[in-house]
Amino acid sequence: MDDPSHPRNPSPGRVTEVSRPVFEVRAVDGAARSGVLRTAHGEVRTPVFMPVGTKATVKTLDPGEVRALGAQILLGNTYHLHFRPGDELVRELGGLHRFMAWDGPILTDSGGFQVFSLRDTIARVDDDGVTFRSVYDGAATRFTPDLAARIQKNLGSDIAMCLDQVPPAGVSRRTLEVAVRRTTLWAARQRDLPRAPGQLRFGIAQGGTDPELRRRSTEEIAELGFDGNAIGGLAIGEDRDTMFETTDAAAALLPADRPRYFMGIGDPEGILEVIEAGIDMFDCVLPTRTARTGSALTANGRLNLRNARFARDQRPLEEGCDCPACTRFSRAYIRHLVNQSEVLGLRLLSLHNLRFLVNLADGARDAIERGTFAGYKRDRLERLTWPDS
Catalytic residue numbers, as ranges: 109, 283
* C-beta of 196 vs 321, nearer to Zn ion: 321
What CA–CA distances, in Å, run from 342 to 63, 119, 345, 348, 349?
21, 34, 6, 10, 11
* C-beta of 231 vs 321, nearer to Zn ion: 321
**At its nearest, how many Å lie between Zn ion and the CB of residue 323?**
3
Part of the chain binding Zn ion (CB under 5 A), chosen from 140-148, 212-220, 225-233, 324-332: 324-332
* C-beta of 21 vs 363, nearer to Zn ion: 363
Beta strands 301-304; 295-298: pairing state? antiparallel
Q: How far apart are CA 13 and CA 68, in angstroms?
A: 35
Part of the chain binding Zn ion (CB under 5 A), chosen from 23-31, 167-175, 303-311, 313-321: 313-321
* C-beta of 119 vs 328, nearer to Zn ion: 328
Among 231, 271, 323, 361, binds Zn ion (CB under 5 A): 323
Closest CA to 331 of 318, 346, 350: 318
Count the alpha carbons within 13 Å of 333 in the hemisphere toward its beta carbon: 14
* C-beta of 44 vs 321, nearer to Zn ion: 321
Residue 386 is given by DSSP the state B
**At its nearest, how many Å lie between Zn ion and the CB of residue 377?**
22
Among 326, 338, 354, 361, binds Zn ion (CB under 5 A): 326
Among 155, 321, 360, 367, binds Zn ion (CB under 5 A): 321
Residue 291 near Zn ion by CB under 5 A: no
Beta strands 260-262; 281-284: pairing state? parallel
Contact 311, 332 (CB under 8 A): yes
Contact 162, 263 (CB under 8 A): no
> What is the footprint of Zn ion within residues 33-62 (CB under 5 A)?
none
Binding mask 343-362 for Zn ion (x = CB under 5 A): ---------x----------
Part of the chain binding Zn ion (CB under 5 A), chosen from 112-120, 183-191, 304-312, 326-334: 326-334
Q: How many residues bind Zn ion (CB under 5 A)?
A: 5
- For residue 275, give every residue at least 6 positions away whose Cβ sits within 8 Å of its Cβ, in sequence order, or none: 32, 47, 361, 364, 368, 373, 377
- For residue 96, give every residue at least 6 positions away whose Cβ sits within 8 Å of its Cβ, in sequence order, or none: 56, 76, 81, 90, 102, 106, 108, 155, 156, 157
**At its nearest, how many Å lie between Zn ion and the CB of residue 106?**
25
How many other β-carbons are positioned within 10 Å of the β-carbon of residue 286?
22
List contacts with Zn ion (CB under 5 A): 321, 323, 325-326, 352
